[in-house]
A = this chain, B = another copy of it.
Amino acid sequence: MLKLKLDTDPVWVKMVVEGNISEILTDHAYCEQKAASSAISLLVHYPEYEELVTKMAELVREEMSHFQMVHKLIKDRGYTLGRERKDDYVNELQLFFKKGGQSREEVLAGKLLLFAMIEARSCERFLVLSENIEDKELADFYFNLMKSEARHYTMFLKFAHELCPNVDIATKWEAFLEYEAQVIGKRGVKETVHG
């Protein structure tokens, strides 16, 4: 179903699975928080799209429930939630989209494709984690989250098609997938969800 252009580097998998699991959990917690914040930002900026507002409000609550799950894992294992990590991956993805001179619809399309991509890559990473982490509790946890991310990715792409009829979403998405493969191909060296 997911068709990313490049699979996660096994080097990243090895590093995370053999590394300090509290690192990835802290980063993961903030990924969920950022997803919630992004959903809030979308509904504040596009209140005229009733269905989008409805779905984003639901999404905020779902992402925060994931944050709570990760936070509980952190607490149960005696770890502490660390400081927020910068997400260079997302910052690099954003460079794909032009700044300025765009219509409201083009800006919205860019945001929706960006969020779809983050969900898609997170989905792929969570699947890889679930298949490689020996800890059964964490493996199950990531397998279940993977399914949520896949739903979200589909939802964002669907909104892009529905709400941005004047943007060629299919072509843009294809080009963005190529770009994302280059971005992720340069990575694999950090103990973060998108590292």
Contacts and interface: CB of A to CB of B under 8 A. Distances in A.
Interface residues of A, number: 27
A83 B81 CA distance: 35
Contact of A33 (B33, B44, B65): B44
Interface of A: 30, 33, 36-37, 40, 43-44, 47-48, 50, 53-54, 57-58, 60-61, 64-65, 67-68, 71, 75, 80-84
5 contacts: A36-B40, A47-B82, A47-B84, A50-B75, A64-B64
Identical chains in the assembly: 2
B50 A80 contact: yes
Given A36-B40, A44-B33, A60 B60 contact: yes
A142 B124 CA distance: 44
A43 B33 contact: yes
A36 B67 CA distance: 14
